[in-house]
Amino acid sequence: MASGSSCKDTLTRQFAVIADPRATSTTADLIQQFELVLKTRDKITEVSEHSVRIEDVQSQLDQRVTQTKDLAFAKRVDSAAAPLRKKFEALRAELYEVGCHVDQCSLDQPMKLYNQLMTINGQIQLGDYAPTAQHREMFAEWSGKVAEQLRKLQQLEENELAAFNRLMQELGMPAVFVPARKVIS
Closest CA to 97 of 87, 82, 86, 108: 108
Contacts of residue 19, Cβ cutoff 8 Å, sequence gap at least 6: 25, 27
Q: How far apart are CA 90 and CA 95, in angstroms?
A: 9
- pLDDT tens string for the chain (185 positions)? 455 666 788 899 999 988 888 888 898 999 999 999 999 999 999 999 999 999 999 999 999 999 999 999 999 999 999 999 999 999 999 998 877 665 666 566 778 999 999 999 999 999 888 999 999 999 999 999 999 999 999 999 999 999 999 999 999 999 999 988 766 55
Is residue 138 within 8 A of residue 73, CB to CB? The reply is no
Is residue 80 within 8 A of residue 167, CB to CB? The reply is yes
User: Model pTM?
Assistant: 0.83
